[in-house]
Structure 1
């Protein structure tokens, strides 16, 4: 059972009053609404009508609502059980644009359904792919997810759009007040007001935008003219399939899955104060929910769905991660498809307000990714994995024109810093694993300075293995204490052999020597008086420390050969 971190107001399994759950769910829907623009971009790319755009947005919202609920489930392998909402996935944008321009919306829907089906299959393999996702890779993905929000967040924050390249003072004022309100409530508020920091900030932003004219007459008229209640338009254009688009959509769904792995890893970490490593079976359930929502979206006429990194950042910022909020947000999204007037409020969100919300949540994602990277020891290989992934990933944002002429079949990999950075980290991780030995032997000679040898060995191998710093420190202390005790008690005068085996979830050390066995019976530490008067007190102190460092200790001896096994959970 995960241990609830102290910074959470509402943890994963906490129950909430219904009004609180609905307000927090509404807050998440406001953040999710930033992705509603992607279907509009796809329809406009081939000259589609406003009705086609409205249909695709509506169906995407419906699929997102269902996907959000599926993700919060944890039954029969479906869902991760976390608050990790589903939205229109930016990883699908490049491939969807190519499909729309090639064969219209029917091809977009058919290829999206195929991508969802592929992700469902991929989810069943997740528990066998732990080797692909060490902490440095998942940390890079989470960090780049936050970085990928910046190109969308900053232009909106500054009030810049394709038809408006000038930042007005009023736009900057609204953005600054909106962001400042969110930050002030998060940092200085008392009680549960922190839960609603984004909702309060967005509300103030809307009011200021209306008062300053940024939210103008056409936008307000759109809200007023929209019917309060209506059935969704079901004029579906059908489905089609093109073998030539198989590679772009496969790349898109893999990028989307890797982003979701990062999001779900973050959810695990923020909900467990004793988090150690990604739970790949749980992530597999989350990817299954992700693929199912993408499959549903393609079937009913929406855009490919993926977990929302911004909403994960929101849950960190507000300290509310209860999955009840996911059910509330999912229901609200489904209801939006029947209430056009309410949906239009999200569609006309002013750019400065949207930008402020995205800046707020991106900060949490970036820092959380860096924390995942630094949760493990680093050596030169892992430094290259992380450093090169950031360098080549960010080159997309720094030199975008350089990648525009690439073939469409590989365009998805070079469509964003997230896609290229993730691909770089995965490939380098596999390359740099070549030559890494999971089993090592250390020989220690009595009468030599074995302490330096022990500490140097574990520090070097800890970085090579990417082990947790705390586990390596306990292991080197336990081995040093044990060898010191063997030498001090004159248990042997021959070389002491330590066989070390590292796995992702364990570190095992097998120490062998020829001589007298040690008494390593567990017990309490000797008193100060015992240390002064009892000759066996130092041996008992050593045994106590070894048991304190290691998670389990076993010892036996046969024909003069003594064997001590130390096990450490990792």
Structure 2
């Protein structure tokens, strides 16, 4: 491994970098393709058009990851952050698409990306309002909010006819145990790719058991490239733009938590300049998404968990994952291979990864002085608010769209709560901040 001043800037050997990068792709693939699947299905698009959305999404996800990890000029946090479509945008985009058409989605996405780029420097100056009290709470919520995603995968995937079948859960448990065994007993070089080993082994075991098959892979086109404005030139509806800008503010809050989490894990503290660079990358990627027929982008929490689990902090490893996504976007047949990984296999690995994110948040909260009852209230109430939509996903379905955009994402709801309550207890009352808060 080439040594550098910091683990984030170390470059592992090619083979190890490729394997670790593939591990990141497998960890986020299901989440990466979920948004185009949901939006395309809700809008009644053909299978061919949905396939086009998925390829465009993978391509832009890869480019976005390269921008975030490698950076150029003032764009990119230059940290190991994997980028993908944000789930916060799903409900507003479906509503926009049904009322105004898909071109209005892309017009709103482009404008929201530009707004994010413009707001990034200001957002970076707000970093002092994200002390360990706030960031630890938000990161814990991110991990806990993602756990149901992995559990749904473990059960077979939402909508699966065999959802909750014992054999699905048994396969997921086997993958989880294999991750632990490889982590505990394998040599360091192998333990770093414990998730990849478990996913590959789980998939191999799953084939003869009938969980998946690769017979339809050859029907997929070998090569395909996304072209700008494939579905038509963007249109700009004021209400749609406002809704998507609100989504972008939510996304910026989520990305802030992920950037701070990865910076904490990697031992590279995030200052206002680095945070602004990361948010600019989100904005630029979102603009590219609007141009190339896909959606808003954010840092993926599941990959932050993988960074913490493997303790491989090299941004070049995650950039390799971005390169693999670009290849998958250009060669749909390869994406079909990855898509055949059974949901229970991903679920078993996801439980470990998402739990790792929550544990990192708890570790950050250990720095906070809880002899200050105000700090205890900030964490208690924010965790409660953040987990409401996780516990009861339909609780806000009768509220206005703008409210649901913020509150149906437990991550954004918890983040807003933590920031506001921290201001209330540690700033506005003129108190000196408690040590570690």
Please classify the TM superposition score into its range, dividing by the shorter chain length: over 0.9
Contact 1:55 1:233 in 2 (8 A): no
Structure 1 residue 373: deviation in Å? 2.1
Higher strand fraction: Structure 1 or Structure 2?
1
Are positions 1:337 and 2:333 aligned together?
no
Q: Secondary structure at the match of 1:306?
A: strand
Structure 2, unpaired ranges of 5+: none
Structure having greater relative contact order (Cα 8 Å, sep ≥ 6):
2
Matches within 5 A, 1:482-501: none
Are positions 1:252 and 2:252 aligned together?
no
Structure 1 residue 83: deviation in Å? 0.9
Are positions 1:153 and 2:150 aligned together?
yes
Tell me which of 15, 38, 44 is aligned to 2:11.
15
Partner of 2:319: 327
Task: State which structure, 1 or 2, has the greater radius of gyration over its C-alpha atoms.
Answer: 1
| Separation in structure 2 between the aligned mates of residue 63 and residue 196 of structure 1, nearest angstrom | 25
Partner of 1:170: 167
CA displacement, residues 239-275 of structure 1 (integer Å, 9 cap, x when unaligned): 1222113343222111211111111111211122xx6
| Separation in structure 2 between the aligned mates of residue 321 and residue 45 of structure 1, nearest angstrom | 38
| Separation in structure 2 between the aligned mates of residue 136 and residue 228 of structure 1, nearest angstrom | 49
| Separation in structure 2 between the aligned mates of residue 252 and residue 334 of structure 1, nearest angstrom | 25
Partner of 2:204: 207
| Separation in structure 2 between the aligned mates of residue 227 and residue 246 of structure 1, nearest angstrom | 35
Q: Secondary structure at the match of 1:255?
A: helix
Q: Secondary structure at the match of 2:84?
A: strand
Higher helix fraction: Structure 1 or Structure 2?
2
CA displacement, residues 322-360 of structure 1 (integer Å, 9 cap, x when unaligned): 111122112111111221111112223311012122212
Tell me which of 307, 313, 320 is aligned to 1:315.
307
Contact 1:126 1:281 in 2 (8 A): no
Q: Secondary structure at the match of 1:400?
A: coil
Partner of 2:404: 411
Partner of 2:34: 37
Deviates more, 1:52-61 or 1:70-79: 70-79
Tell me which of 370, 395, 404 is aligned to 1:402.
395
Are positions 1:352 and 2:348 aligned together?
no
Structure 1 stretches of 4+ moved >4 Å = none
Partner of 2:413: 420
Structure 1 residue 370: deviation in Å? 1.4
Partner of 1:66: 63
The TM-score normalised by the length of structure 2 is 0.93
Partner of 1:282: 274
Tell me which of 169, 191, 194 is aligned to 2:191.
194
Tell me how large the CA RMSD over aligned residues is. Answer: 2.0
Going from structure 1 to structure 2, the CA distance change for 1:421 and 1:61 (only over 3 Å counts) comes to same
Contact 2:53 2:293 in 1 (8 A): yes
Q: How many residues align?
A: 430
CA displacement, residues 131-154 of structure 1 (integer Å, 9 cap, x when unaligned): 321222111221111122122111
Contact 1:248 1:411 in 2 (8 A): no
Tell me which of 256, 260, 270 is aligned to 1:261.
256
Structure 1 residue 61: deviation in Å? 1.1
Going from structure 1 to structure 2, the CA distance change for 1:195 and 1:405 (only over 3 Å counts) comes to same
Are positions 1:24 and 2:45 aligned together?
no
| Separation in structure 2 between the aligned mates of residue 135 and residue 318 of structure 1, nearest angstrom | 23
Contact 1:412 1:419 in 2 (8 A): no
Contact 1:236 1:300 in 2 (8 A): no
Going from structure 1 to structure 2, the CA distance change for 1:257 and 1:466 (only over 3 Å counts) comes to farther
CA displacement, residues 98-140 of structure 1 (integer Å, 9 cap, x when unaligned): 2222223212211111221111112111332123212221112
Tell me which of 82, 85, 99 is aligned to 1:85.
82
Deviates more, 1:291-300 or 1:248-257: 248-257
Contact 1:94 1:415 in 2 (8 A): no
CA displacement, residues 341-393 of structure 1 (integer Å, 9 cap, x when unaligned): 11112223311012122212101100111112222223122211111111122
